[in-house]
Amino acid sequence: MNTLLVIRPRAEDVEGQPILRPLPSAKCRSVGPFVFFDHMLETDYPAGKGMDIRQHPHIGLSTLTYLFQGQLQHKDSLGSDQIVDAGDVSWMTAGSAIAHVERTPQTLQESGFRMHGLQVWLASPREREQGPGHYSHHPAATLPVSDSLGVRIRMIAGSGFCLESPVPVLSPTLYAELHLQTATTLLIPAEHEERALYVLSGEVQLGGELIEPHALVVLPAGEELSLFAESDCHAVLFGGAALDGPRRINWNFVASDPAAIDEARRRWAAGDWPTVPGETERIELP
């Protein structure tokens, strides 16, 4: 077996929400279509507080928000206005220009709550980078689950382990939530070209190597690996087909052509961008 590439995330803060960001990294720019990975750490918000990520733009990517605890309201320039519960998938494809808002619903702010979840960006294939935007919401009950011998797999997006999610991904994708009870084993097949494991909690052995919580491990291509739970473990496995060329990331923009990012920056700065209905505040260009 090849040596595992282990990435330690850097700590960041997004509008008051502490996160860990293992991707992108100097060691690894992408895994399959995944170019950005944020772990929103468990955070208790008192009554009257919450997340409020104001209007901001995207191009050339799809965002996927998946919560373990809490709730978010998604609004975008397509007119979408959706409450996203824990276990749901919020999927937004930016195309050539979209803006959105993510905030804690008012009812949850009034009571206080705990937030914990993931948000990832998936680069669009080149032929879809400049296409139309799209939003879809997928309730938890619509996501396929396998539960056997102490191992529970939920397919968040894409396919794997004989499961297929209804989320409309744009390229071959793997994004699975894993729960392993202590002393259970899961064989990770080599059915996707690129794969990585992120451990949310618990300790596991991957191919005999001990992996600690909050580590992202890039799996060697073409190899089946055995995942063994030293303790009750919560993790996600993600990846898919390799990107069809390198991507540039600048602020909230992803593109294969740097000129597209320059144009998006110019348009946002000039106010020449679709707006979210009912929203006036926005995050200005850094």
Binding annotation for Fe cation: 56, 58, 100, 102
Q: Which helix (H) or strand (E) holds 206?
A: strand 204-206
**Separation CA 198–CA 88 (nearest Å):** 19
Q: Which helix (H) or strand (E) holds 261?
A: helix 258-270
DSSP-derived 3-state class of residue 126:
helix
Task: Count Cα neighbours of 190 within 13 Å in the Cβ-side half-sphere.
Answer: 7
Q: Which helix (H) or strand (E) holds 182?
A: none
Binding site feature residues: 56, 58, 100, 102
The CA radius of gyration of the chain, in Å to the nearest whole number, is 19
Question: Are the C-beta atoms of residues 66 and 115 closer than 8 Å to each other?
Answer: no
